[in-house]
Amino acid sequence: MKRRDFLMAASGVAGGTAAGAAPAGAQETTTSPGNSTASGNTTTAANGTASGNTTAPNGTAGGNQSAPQSGGGGGPTETVAVGPGGSLKFEPAELTIAPGTTVKWVWEGDNHNVVPESQPDGAGWEGTAGGASKTYNTGHEYSFTFQQTGEYSYFCQPHKTAGMTGTITVQEGGASSGGGHAEQDPEHMGVPFQAHYVGIATLLMMVVSLVYTFFTLKYGESPHTSGSNR
């Protein structure tokens, strides 16, 4: 065999080998419009089958798929203490909230429960699990989201006769609905005296001022007695 023929034959064999081996380890990434990206590793076997992992937009296509998780109601939360300090009461006992508000009862005492006594039709509030016969102790928590407007009343079954009751008013706008705000106790606002004490003190100062003015005008020093030294 001539040298030229030998080199041409060797080049043909090497080229055919490279062409056949190239697809085996290829990786492909494809980006399509709309921010949808599909990527994966594809291996073509001798029998013509293809295998790989492909990720589709906003999810996973393949053996494991994750469904979107739905969040909570997203509304505000109000907390009611159950038996605070060993007392037989709910604190606050009266609560005004907007629809969609979650009320969370937190046990600070033992042997208490939350049993609905009245509620709007179709509200579906059942209170703590187990009904009136089941009580819970310190550390327990129970929550319910109120959607329907109206008046709700409830009680603690073992201590209802002791006055352990509560009410919840659900209205549009919550506590600020109806215009204006509820009258507040001056002591809660940092005022040291009640309003009527302030009024009494004001009247007393006016009386003292009038009496002082009267005596000053009647018994004050006369111009005839305040002459100069002669």
Is residue 112 annotated as part of the catalytic site, yes or no?
yes
Strand order in the sheet with 90-91: 90-91, 77-82, 101-107, 141-146
Q: Which two tokens stand for residue 107?
A: 């046990």
Q: Which of 1, 8, 140, 159 is catalytic?
A: 159
C-alpha torsion 29→33→35→36, nearest 10: -50
Amino acid at 113: N
Contact 76, 121 (CB under 8 A): no
Q: Residues 6 or more apart from 190 whose CB is under 8 A from it?
A: none
Is residue 164 annotated as part of the catalytic site, yes or no?
yes
Q: Residues 6 or more apart from 53 whose CB is under 8 A from it?
A: 40, 41, 62
Q: Which of 8, 164, 181, 188 is catalytic?
A: 164
Contact 174, 97 (CB under 8 A): yes
Q: Which residues is 51 bridged to in the sheet?
A: 43
Q: Which of 156, 188, 196, 224 is catalytic?
A: 156
Picking from 102, 101, 67, 226, the residue whose alpha carbon sits closest to that of residue 176 is: 101
Annotated catalytic sites, by residue?
112, 156, 159, 164
